[in-house]
Amino acid sequence: MLSISGIPIEVCKKNIKNMHLYVKPPDGKVTISAPLSMRDDAIERFARTRVSWIKKQLTKFDDQPRQSEREYVSGETLYIWGKQYYLQTEYGGRNSLVLSGDKAALTVRKESSAEQRDNFVREWCRDLLKTEIERLMPKWEKTTGLKAASWQTKYMTTRWGTCNRATGKIWLNLQLAKKTPECLEYIILHELVHLVEKTHNKRFVSLMDKYMPMWKEVRATLNGQALDYME
C-alpha cells in the first residue's frame, strides 16, 4: 500500500508486462497493477507522476451522490443491464420483481429483513444473467472456435470473471447483471481467450482485438476510470 499526497493506493503485483492505474467505482478506490519484477520505488515514482490525474478522477467521485446501505425500500435505485430503476416496494405473500419503464416493482413479505430481500434480488439477477449467458456463450464460442467445458455464476468482489484452464470451466460474476450487455460479452470473450492464453500478453491482446475491436472501451466502462502505463 502506498500513500501519495494523502491518497492511499493499493498495489497489486501480477504476472503482467505493463502497469495499470485504476480509480474504481463506487468509492474511487485507487489501485495500481504492476509486473512482478517491478521495483517498489519505480511504482512509487509512477504514482507520483500521476497524482494530478488521480485527483481529477477522485473529484468526479466526490461529486456523485453516495448510496446508503441498501434496505430495498421504495425510492432506492437498482441497476439492471446498465439501466437505472427506481424501487417501488410493496408487501405481499410471494416475492417478485417486475421491471417497467424506469420502475422496479418489488414485492416482499413485510416482515422480511434487508438481507432476505437482498438474497431474493440476487437470485433474481442470477436467473436473468444465466439466461443471457446461455444466449451469448454459444455466439462467442462459434466466433472464436473456443469452447468452455462448463460455466457457472457466483458473487465476486475482485474479479468480473475467471477460468480454470485445466478443467475449461469459466466463472462469471453475478454482478455483471448490473452492467450493460456489452460488458457481459466482453467478459465472456475475455475468459474464453484465457482458455488458450494464460496472461495478458501480445497474443491475448491480438485475439481480443480480432474478435472485439472495441474491447478496451468496453473494459473502461466496466472498470471505471483507468490509466494504462506501457513500458
Domain limits of the chain?
Answer: 2-65, 116-196
Average pLDDT estimate for 29-47: 90
pLDDT band for position 224 (50/70/90)? low
Give the per-residue pLDDT at 62.
Answer: 58
Average pLDDT estimate for 163-174: 94
Is 140 within 8 Å of 189 (Cβ atoms)? yes
pLDDT per residue as tens digits for the range 64-115: 544 446 889 999 999 999 999 999 999 998 999 999 999 999 999 999 999 9
Give the per-residue pLDDT at 231.
Answer: 32
Average pLDDT estimate for 29-40: 90
pLDDT at 226 over 80: no
Give the per-residue pLDDT at 219.
Answer: 87
Give the per-residue pLDDT at 22.
Answer: 85
Average the pLDDT over each of 31-40, 128-137, 138-147 and give the range with the smallest value. 31-40
In CATH, what number does 116-196 get?
A: 3.30.2010.10
Give the per-residue pLDDT at 66.
Answer: 46
pLDDT per residue as tens digits for the range 7-21: 889 999 988 888 888
Average the pLDDT over each of 51-55, 61-65, 185-189 and give the range with the smallest value. 61-65
Is 96 within 8 Å of 123 (Cβ atoms)? no
pLDDT per residue as tens digits for the range 111-140: 999 999 999 999 999 999 999 999 999 999
Q: Determine the Cα–Cα distance for residues 170 and 158; give it in Å rounded to an integer.
A: 16
In the numeric block, which cell numbers belong to residue 194?
484465457
pLDDT at 60 over 50: yes
Is 226 within 8 Å of 220 (Cβ atoms)? yes
What average pLDDT is seen over the chain?
Answer: 88
pLDDT at 196 over 50: yes
